[in-house]
């Protein structure tokens, strides 16, 4: 299992220290949650903080934009050196165009679905994305309870990916812990985002190891 700890649950007063354990851990990606107070009812952090974190981080960045008009920030996200740029399906009209622009900017295009958005809507763009991120909570806050219907969605998405020949990986975000992580691994998830479960622990590296061991 690939694991992407979410910085949203980190101690922002000690970012250097947080990035120190993170860089030494077995985590695969750093998940960065950008919120604008419009697409979601919360505001997190913006580019000044992202640039600082990008300098401190030695692992690939997975930038999750919970904002309206994410296409306006493709250049800024690319300049961070991000590997994945995750844009919400619900925030876009011209999905195909934006995914292409993300790829042209040198990043892997990723599309995110809110819990109520069916995976079947992706059938005509599934071969244009390198990742599908399924939200397993309503986006906007860390520490929420996992929505169990996500497990069924993962199975339907896995089928869509297999049948289409897409290379997309399946990432899940929200309420991930050992129990939900195990269920998600069984359902077919490839990448688990974990905020409070990892950063809320006295031994975050150990939590990363435990999630990574799921298969
Ligand atoms: C929620 C964010 C998540 C969040 C997950 O809107 O997209 O990435 O950090 O937090 P946990 O793992 O605590 O549910
Ligand atoms: Zn996220």
CATH number, domain of 136, equals 3.20.20.70
Q: How far apart are CA 42 and CA 44, in angstroms?
A: 7
Q: What residues are labeled active site?
A: 33, 173
CA nearest to 211, candidates 34, 48, 27, 88: 27
How far does the chain reach from its first CA to its final CA, in angstroms?
6
What's the domain range around 44?
A: 2-212
Q: How far apart are CA 29 and CA 3, in angstroms?
A: 7
pLDDT tens-digit series, residues 22-51 = 999 999 999 999 999 999 999 999 999 999
Task: Return the best residue to mutate from 141, 177, 180 for the ligand 1 pocket (most ligand atoms within 8 A of CB).
Answer: 141
Ligand nearest the Cα atom of residue 207: 1
As residues whose CB is below 5 A from the ion ligand 2, the structure lists 33, 64, 173
CA nearest to 62, candidates 1, 7, 139: 7
DSSP state of 37: S
Atom of ligand 1 nearest to the CA of 139: 6
Q: What is the mean pLDDT of the chain?
A: 98
pLDDT grade for 175, boundaries at 50, 70 and 90: very high
Please report the pLDDT score of residue 196 as a whole number. Answer: 98
Q: Residues 84-97: what's their mean pLDDT? A: 98
Q: Which residues line ligand 1 (CB under 6 A)?
A: 6, 8-9, 31, 33, 64, 137, 139-144, 173-176, 193-197
Q: Residues 49-75: what's their mean pLDDT? A: 98
- pTM of the shown model: 0.98
H helix intervals, 131-191? 150-164, 178-187
pLDDT grade for 138, boundaries at 50, 70 and 90: very high
Which residue has a Cα nearest atom 10 of ligand 1? 142
Please report the pLDDT score of residue 93 as a whole number. Answer: 98
- Specify whether the CB–CB gap between 125 and 111 falls below 8 A: yes
Ligand nearest the Cα atom of residue 86: 2
Q: How far apart are CA 53 and CA 44, in angstroms?
A: 14
Structural domain count, the chain: 1
What is the Å distance from ligand 1's center to 29 Cα? 14
What is the Å distance from ligand 2's center to 4 Cα? 9
pLDDT grade for 106, boundaries at 50, 70 and 90: very high
Output the CA torsion sign for 151, 155, 161, 164: negative
CA nearest to 175, candidates 183, 167, 163: 183
Give percent of the chain above pLDDT 90.
Answer: 100
Please report the pLDDT score of residue 49 as a whole number. Answer: 98
pLDDT grade for 18, boundaries at 50, 70 and 90: very high
Which residue has a Cα nearest atom 6 of ligand 1? 139
Task: Return the best residue to mutate from 3, 4, 5, 6 for the ligand 1 pocket (most ligand atoms within 8 A of CB).
Answer: 6
Residue 162 burial (C-beta neighbours within 10 Å; 0-12, 13-18, 19+): exposed
Please report the pLDDT score of residue 52 as a whole number. Answer: 98
Return phi, psi of residue 108, to 5°.
Answer: -90, 120
């Amino acid at each position: 299992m690939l694991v992407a700890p979410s910085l949203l649950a980190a101690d922002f007063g000690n970012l250097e220290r947080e990035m120190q354990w993170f860089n030494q851990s077995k985590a695969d990606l750093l998940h960065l949650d950008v919120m604008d107070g419009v697409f979601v009812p919360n505001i997190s952090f913006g580019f000044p903080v992202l640039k600082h974190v990008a300098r401190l981080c030695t692992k690939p960045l997975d930038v999750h934009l919970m904002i309206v008009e994410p296409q306006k920030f493709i250049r800024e996200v690319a300049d961070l050196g991000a590997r994945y740029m995750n844009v919400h399906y619900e925030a876009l009209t011209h999905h195909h165009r934006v995914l292409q622009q993300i790829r042209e900017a040198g990043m892997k295009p990723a599309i995110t679905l809110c819990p109520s958005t069916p995976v079947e809507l992706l059938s005509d763009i599934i071969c244009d994305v390198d990742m599908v991120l399924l939200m397993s909570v309503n986006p906007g806050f860390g520490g929420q309870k996992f929505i169990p219907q996500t497990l069924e969605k993962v199975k339907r998405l896995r089928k869509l990916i297999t049948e289409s020949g897409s290379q997309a990986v399946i990432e899940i975000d929200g309420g991930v812990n050992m129990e939900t992580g195990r269920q998600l691994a069984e359902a077919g998830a490839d990448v688990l985002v974990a905020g409070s479960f990892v950063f809320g622990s006295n031994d975050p590296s150990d939590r990363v190891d435990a999630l990574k061991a799921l298969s």
